[in-house]
Structure 1
Amino acid sequence: MGIKKTIGCLVVALALGYQAQAKSAFAIKVQKDSTSQTAKVDTTKAKKPMPMNVKPTPPKKETDYERLMKDSGTVVKGLFTVRHIKDKWYFEMHDSMVGRYFMAVTRFASVPQGFGKFSGEMVNEDAIYFEKRDDKTMLLRTFVRTQEANEKDRIYLSLKQSTTDPIVAAFPIVAGNPQKGMNLIEVTGFFVRDNNIVGINRTLFEKTKIGGQMPDRTFIDTVKTYPINIEVQTTRTYGASPSFVRASGTGSITLALNTSIVELPKVPMRKRIWDTRVGYFAYPYTIFSDEQRKSQREMFIARFKLVPKDVKRYQRGELVEPVKPIVFYIDPATPKKWVPYLIKGINDWNVAFEAAGFKNAIQGKEWPTNDPSMSLDDARFNVVRYLPSEAENAYGPHVKDPRSGEIIESHICWFHNVMNLLTKWYMVQCGPLDKRARKMEFDDKLMGELIRFVSSHEVGHTLGLRHNMSASYATPVEKLRDKAWVEKHGHTASIMDYARFNYVAQPEDNISERGLFPRVNDYDKWAIKWGYQYRPEFKDELAEKEKLMTETTAILAKNPRLWFGGEGTNEDPRAQREDLGDDNVKASDYGVKNLQRVIANLPQWTRQDNDQYDDLREMYTAVRQQFSRYFGHVAKNIGGRYINNMPGTLPYEIVPAEKQKAAIDYFGRQVFDAPLWLYPADLTAKTGVDANNEIAKMQSVALNSMLSLGLLNAVYNNSQASSKAYRLENYLNDLFDKVWTPLNASQELKNSSRRTLQRNYVERLNSILNPEDKEKTAAGAPAFNTDARLYVAQHLDKLEAYLKEQAQSATGINALHYADLVRQVKQIKEQREHGRNNR
């Protein structure tokens, strides 16, 4: 009886203990989470007593995810779910987003004074994607592949193994996420530590010379998430370079960055393969195929994606609006009076898009003032950013999808002082032609139209267009003075040329603004049509390429005004920056005439009260720089070659001898005969310019180029390639005639400048015939084992005879000059003979 009673009491005690344990478990408070499903627990159903021989189930172990969710924090859903818990930030993404591509675009959000960069300018851009290594680790890779193959080809497997994208970050996945397929990772460290994706990259560190990052003063400020993008803003503090230390005295600088992570299309836009005859920014890639015997290298262009709303109407040739137009917003920091002109510059491109079959394809708009969902730093929006920079510049970059070339967004950076540059350009080039340009403060309408022109040019870059420095060559020089023609056709075929204004026109031509300003013109319309026309009829970009090339050949054969000759970096004198017309000599002569008119009026146009001459100094410098451009344009013809890509032309042609001879004649008239008109006494006295010294430098630069061994080699080699080329002996003789003229000018400054020029001439011959060892071995130095030096030695004999003849009749300083040069020539010959004997 006692034993049974004891056992019974024990059973009751165990049962009561189990019930108490169960009640305690159900009393645990579950942290609510508005973004996740929380398991419901039914406490109303009666629990059966646990059998005597079964041990109680231990309480479920709390997961890392559950433990983290106990802490209060904010949760916002968007592209990813963003959680802010205590001082840490988390991204929560579904497995379906793993492997998707994103563009990470980092820009300055705020900068210290004198930093050299401005809010809105880009720091980094990279295509990235997440990769799940296992249940514990999420990797971040950056897309750098430029090789591709069809997945059905056997070579695809090998290519995949040979083109691994780099891992740029790894994130532990918080364990125990109750939501199926969801992954929670902490991203705090990634965004506050500098790296090449979301921070200051090494190149910028070196350029700005900022010091190390200060972690205790570096923070994530905000993380905002939207349906297709996330915006992360950080404040960062660094040690300061000596210049910043002197400026602030703090030893540190603080700036802010904004990183946009924007979802890229799941299916990339079809590439459009570049045709080198149309000027687009293009990016290389290589195609491998089982059917090839050699890999295929191509380049695809950058462009916005435009798809017509009504394809059938589009294909019938009707103008159709795109599904998604290109919209540019104007920074609200822009002075209000310039906003309409910036918008006009954007909208000017609609005439080009109409050539491609679209209407209202591009739109300029003011920034909405009452939409909190929009941010200037958001990479979803194209913006013209107005920057408080003293630099006289503007530029139009773009961010593209590296898989296809689709332009995702662009921020045109417009520096405040670009208006000062426009003032200098227009007064110097068109002051004699437009009375509105004869004062330092242009009226708002004139300045607005100047702003409009630059706006159009920069927008062209954001659309994918490169400079076309050959566009101005399409206009014959004399047509630039034909009022009816130039006002109808414009002075350059493309606004993407650096053909600022029509400086060839003369006052008596009475040409209006329409014949002086650049505009979106024939080449621009053609280039936009080529790049943006919608062509769904082709199975892939390679089939499209072949058809477009055939069409392009036919079009260019009919219209040479559509020539794309490059960005002015090659040897072709027809494609130069800042030049006009099809004849550099004629255009520059007309330009000089207008500069002479500007010089005569500059004191009046720049007049300031209280004997101040700041404006005069600035504009006078601009005039002298413009003159230097003119003889630079002419010089490129000497020893040059034409580089052709038009139908029916040879790829390379030597500049005709008569054009090179005309270039030497220009230098004789405009440079070697000292241009004293450029240095009137009243200007040099007010500005402090040393005319004698500056003329000597100008002439020296020109002569050193014309008597460089590299150029002489080019002239000689060209003469071997063509019977029509300039012969080196003739070149040296023609140059001689322009340098060695009598020293009998009525203005003594002309004579002294000529003597300096002639001494330089002798020194150049000596450097060719008796080079120092370092000149012969310097990296990139031209070969000294060339026939050109033999012609120079022969030329020295001619010079010696001339000097001895002049010395017999010269008097005064001229006699001393010739005698000294005879002595120098003798030394050159002796040194050359001595060097030959020592070999």
Structure 2
Amino acid sequence: MKSPFTKSLWLILLLFSSSIAMAQKLPSIASKTEGMQRYPGYFTFYYDDASGKILLEIDKLNQEFLYVNSLPAGLGSNDIGLDRGQLGRTKVVYFNKQGPKVMLVQPNLSYRASSENPNERRAVEESFAQSILWGFKAEAADGDKILVDATDFLLRDAHDVTGSIKRSRQGNYKLESSRSALYLPRTKNFPQNTEFEATLTFVGDDAGNFVREVAPDVNALTLRQHHSFIQLPDNNYQPRKMDPRAGFFGISYFDYSTPVNESIDKRFIARHRLHKKNPSAKVSEAVKPIVYYVDNGAPEPIRSALVEGARWWNQAFEAAGYKDAFRVEVLPDNADPMDVRYNIIQWVHRSTRGWSYGASVIDPRTGEIIKGHVSLGSLRVRQDFMIAEGLLAPYNEGRQENKAMMDMALARIRQLSAHEVGHTLGIQHNYAASTNNNASVMDYPHPMAKLDRAGNIDLSNAYETGIGAWDKVAVTYGYQDFAKGTNEQKELDDILQQGAKQGLLFISDRDARAAGGAHPLAHLWDNGKSAPEELINVLRVREKALKNFSEQNIKPGAAMSTLEDVLVPVYNYHRYQTEATAKLIGGLNYTYATRGDNLLVTEPVSKSEQQKALDALLKTISPDVLTLPEDIIRLIPPRAPGLGNNRELFAKRTGLTFDPMAAAEASADFTLSFLLHPERASRLVELNARHNSLGLQDVTKQLIENTWKSRREKGLQEQVQMQTEQLVLTHLLALAHNESSSYQARAVATAALQEIKEYANRKRSPASSSLYQAHLAFALDRLNRPVSEDIKPSRALELPPGAPIGSGEELGCE
């Protein structure tokens, strides 16, 4: 009987001899690739035209590199996503040979051990799952070099097109291999990156409207997907710690080799590598400047505007002590936008206007940005042009051109280019900038319109024309290169402290986006130091624009029904300033303070400021603001043939005809949805108890006084007034029965409902058949109706989209 040692030795010898035998059976790479086109580079590969296959030569086993998939040719539907140039996640991967197979392995970098002890690192690696992305079969070998067939890997749905379509409920599709092939014009090789591209066709049925809008044949959707193998950067990059006050996004992971008395949660900012030639100098050239390229497919004058706006960032790098460290050029004709060597500002077309965004290829190990990739939606500039048409009514005396409109649209494109490039530099949104002299291009700007001395609308300063003070602080924090021996952490803290002393505030996404949000200074698309004061200004501009509204808002020969397209952004011009103003009510001012920095932690908005905001909000639901003039209503016929209804128009309850009541309903409901939001209502109760500030009972009392108990109007204004009163009732009913609200908030809402009920009973006259009496009877019926799961408060019409269509919740969108 053999000993255990003898058995083990015999098994090892058997496996070794089998491996040798297998290796001997594999042909040489030269013989396997004879007659094929060779592409030398980072990973050398071969193309066989006869079979349409790519054979990949793997000469770097167990060496990590970056893998990115992307979408160079997209679907064109903003709602589904899948845009031209869309990047997938950056992954660290490596090839590992296991018997006759070569595995593409993605290690789990979310959980690490930075210890020098290999056993500590192994303990973490074995505690969390890895992912094997693909298994290849060895086809040939020369020593340590292995040849594999990569065709199936490259022809798979790596970007999850089928999943995106399914999640959007736009059909069930699957990849059709017979209509898919490698795309050689974009399949290239370079010393530090290997690029593959494939044409993929997806077949399916039950196509949704979004697919039907963009596909020539809904049964076959053909797109292209790109695969990049990228050499890892060297180890000379120094990660920079994330500070919540600095306004950067980045990477995070758990380091289990951290001492017990320190946090295992490690966070580092995302940024490009940038070094001064002389770190000790106050101003120095960069060792290697950051260069961005603007899509050569963007038309003029838009292309020049994109270049100009992106170049603003050099002002921030100059403030950080760099000379000519940030450059912007036009992409050469022979360059590939998906090539990782190029930072790109890409001009993307969709069937509807949508969000633009800044994405990046980021080294998941360190946070180093390898490639910045901006996607700018081409229809955004047209939306701004149409807003200018609505505000200026320019087409009098048959004129076709108005320089002010184009100037405003191009000013917006410059700002948008700068904004999205900022994301690809690692910088987050800063939604408090608009209240602080527009201190950052990372805010969302609404066109700043004002009335000149003659009472006419002036758009000459609609958008800012340069980088902001906060942007300079952020770039200095992220990119300053410190001389050896400098206490870097102290210097970084001093940069942020100096920014705070200048009164600069950073407040980002979560605190600005929520409908029940509490921060009084952070909001999307607002303007002005005081939200209520700017709301009054915006209402004046809106009033002037509506007074001037006529057929001169559209070009000669345009269908009169297209006046509605232009009217929508004018009528709803105050929507964002309304939302910003609502955030003061029940508002709480705060910063991302850290211990010992002496920044404001929390401070409730004063009662007087809340009252000022409430007064302004109540104006937005007054009949004179909500009711469209008769001379506008009669100008808008049903849609002309070929101009079907779409979601950019007002919702209607009147069939084909224009519905001014529906426009007023959606606008009033918009204000009320923020004013009586359940989170705001609960906060009003709590802050009133702690600080004797504006209470929910104050809000409901004034709301009822300004609607139900206000002076009766006549004509269409009376109808709008009664409609708004029913909406007030709807929102109070919803609040009173909303279990996510505090008990006391629901109690105050219930008391307000009782007040309306008592008022309606006092005014009720069953002997009268007037519309007002019918209105009161209907309200009483709603108040007396038991609320159950089957009977819920009616839902009002919604405003047409104002912000870009689609989801903009990602950090890098605008």
TM-score interval, smaller chain: 0.7 to 0.9
Distance in 1 (CA, whole Å) between partners of 2:454 and 2:341 is: 51
1:713 to 671, 678, 682: 682
Residue 713 of structure 1 aligns to a residue whose secondary structure is helix
- Match for residue 222 of structure 2 among 254, 263, 266: 254
Shift of 1:268: 6.4
- Of 428, 433, 448, 1:466 maps to 428
Task: Tell me: CA distance 1:751–1:535, structure 2 relative to 1, closer, same or farther (3 Å).
Answer: same
Please say if residues 305 and 407 of structure 1, whose CA atoms lie closer than 8 Å, have aligned partners that are also in contact: yes
Tell me the residue number matched to 1:451: 413
Judge conservation of contact 1:341–1:451 (CA < 8 Å) in 2.
Answer: yes
1:103 maps onto 2:67 in alignment: yes
Query: In the aligned structure 1, how far is the partner of 2:29 from the partner of 2:619?
Result: 87
Secondary structure of the 2:273 match is coil
In 2, the alpha carbon distance for the partners of 1:376 and 1:685 equals 47
**Contact persistence 1:228–1:262 (CA under 8 A):** yes
Which of 505, 513, 526 is the aligned partner of 1:569?
513
Q: Distance in 2 between matches of 1:654 and 1:438?
A: 51
Q: Which amino acid aligns with 1:782?
A: S
SS of 2:549's equivalent in the other structure is: helix
Q: Could you say which structure has the higher helix fraction?
A: 1
Distance in 1 of aligned mates of 2:784 and 2:474: 59
Q: TM-score, with normalisation over the residues of structure 2?
A: 0.79
- Structure 1 residues 759 and 80, CA, compared in 2 at 3 Å: closer, same or farther? closer
The one of 34, 51, 74 aligned to 2:37? 74
| 1:307 maps to amino acid | H
Aligned match of 1:323: 287
- Do structure 1's residue 685 and structure 2's residue 635 form an aligned pair? yes
Select the residue among 540, 551, 561 that pairs with 1:593.
540
Contact 1:321 1:361 in 2 (8 A): yes
- SS of alignment partner, residue 735 of structure 1: helix
After TM superposition, give the deviation of residue 512 of structure 1 in Å. Answer: 8.1
Q: Matched residues in 1 for 2:622 and 2:536: separation?
A: 15
Q: Are residues 1:560 and 2:503 paired?
A: yes
CA distance in 2: counterparts of 1:277 and 1:304, whole angstroms: 19
Q: Whole-Å Cα distance in 2 between the matches of residues 724 and 576 of structure 1?
A: 26
Q: Could you tell me the TM-score, scaled by structure 1's length?
A: 0.77
Q: Is the 8 A contact 1:300 1:405 kept in 2?
A: yes
The worse-fitting range, judged by mean Cα deviation, of 399-408 and 502-511 is 502-511
Residue 404 of structure 1 and its aligned partner are, at CA, apart by 1.3
Question: Quick check: 1:494 aligned with 2:451?
Answer: no
Asked whether 1:220 is paired with 2:152, we answer no
Partner of 2:57: 92
**1:10-21 alignment runs, 5 A limit:** none
Q: Is the 8 A contact 1:269 1:305 kept in 2?
A: yes
Superposed displacement of residue 655, structure 1: 2.5
Tell me, what secondary structure is at the counterpart of 1:465?
coil
Deviation readout 1:772-800 (Å, 9 max, x if unpaired): xxx65xxxx435xx233444454455545
- The 3-state SS of whatever aligns with 2:598 is coil
Separation of aligned partners in 2, 1:512 and 1:440: 12
Q: CA deviation at 1:594?
A: 0.9
- Which structure exhibits the higher relative contact order, with contacts defined as CA atoms closer than 8 Å and separated by 6 or more residues? 2
Superposed CA offset, 1:623-656 (max 9, x none):
1222333322222222232232355344333222
CA 1:505 to 1:456, structure 2 compared with 1: closer, same or farther past 3 Å? farther
Match of 2:352 among 391, 398, 401: 391
Which residue of structure 1 aligns with residue 620 of structure 2?
Answer: 670
Equivalences for residues 334-413 of structure 1 within 5 A: 334-369=298-333, 371=334, 374-393=335-354, 394-413=356-375
Change (3 A) 1:793 1:251: closer
Give, in angstroms, the shift of residue 350 of structure 1. Answer: 0.6
For residues 233 and 342 of structure 1, the distance between their equivalents in structure 2, rounded to whole angstroms, comes to: 28
Determine the structure 1 residue equivalent to 2:101. 137
Aligned to 2:5: none
Which AA in structure 1 matches 2:686?
Answer: N
Contact 2:45 2:56 in 1 (8 A): yes
Q: Which amino acid aligns with 2:56?
A: F
Relative to 1, partners in 2 of residues 1:109 and 1:258: Cα closer, same or farther, differing over 3 Å? farther
Q: Which amino acid aligns with 1:380?
A: R
- CA distance, structure 2, for counterparts of residue 415 and residue 829 of structure 1: 48
Which residue in 1 is equivalent to 2:464?
A: 517
- CA distance in 2 between partners of 1:826 and 1:64 (Å): 85
Matched letter for residue 343 of structure 2: N
Shift in Å, 1:276: 1.3
Partner of 1:728: 696
Could you say if the C-alpha distance between residues 525 and 513 of structure 1 is closer, same or farther in structure 2, counting changes exceeding 3 Å? farther
Query: Percentage identity across aligned positions?
Result: 20
Secondary structure of the corresponding residue to residue 238 of structure 2? coil
Matched with 1:42 is none
Match of 1:836 in 2: none
Contact 1:674 1:695 survives alignment (8 Å): no
What amino acid does structure 2 have at the position aligned with 1:616? L
**Contact 1:279–1:465 (8 Å) recurs in 2:** yes
Structure 1 position 303 matched with structure 2 position 267:
no
CA spacing shift, 1:825–1:442, aligned 2, 3 Å: closer
How far apart are residue 239 of structure 1 and its match? 1.0
Q: State the Cα distance separating 1:565 from its structure 2 match.
A: 4.8
State yes or no: 1:622 paired with 2:581.
no
Residue 813 of structure 1 corresponds to 770
The counterpart of 1:636, out of the listed 583, 587, 590, is 583
Q: Give 1:352 shift.
A: 0.6
Q: CA deviation at 1:760?
A: 4.2
Unaligned runs of at least 5 residues, structure 2:
1-22, 638-656, 789-814
1:375 counterpart letter in structure 2? D
Inter-CA distance 338–426: structure 2 relative to 1 (3 Å threshold): same
Deviation at 1:469, TM superposition (A): 0.9
Letter in 2 for 1:72: G
Taking the aligned partners of 2:188 and 2:778, their CA distance within structure 1 comes to 77
In the TM superposition, residue 763 of structure 1 has moved relative to its aligned partner by 5.2
Q: CA RMSD of the aligned region, Å?
A: 3.8
Structure 2: how far apart are the matches of 1:152 and 1:493?
A: 45
Structure 2 residue 606 is the aligned partner of structure 1 residue 659: no
1:203-227 Cα distance to aligned partner (Å, 9 max, x none): 4564464522222222223242111
Aligned length: 725
**Which of 409, 423, 427 matches 2:385?**
423
Secondary structure, aligned partner of 2:621: helix
The answer for unaligned runs of 5 or more in structure 1 is 1-59, 476-491, 832-839
The structure whose Rg is larger is 1
Rounded to whole Å, the distance in 1 between the matches of 2:63 and 2:787 is: 76
Contact kept? 2:92, 2:364, Cα under 8 Å: no
The answer as to whether partners of 2:387 and 2:570 remain within 8 angstroms in 1 is no
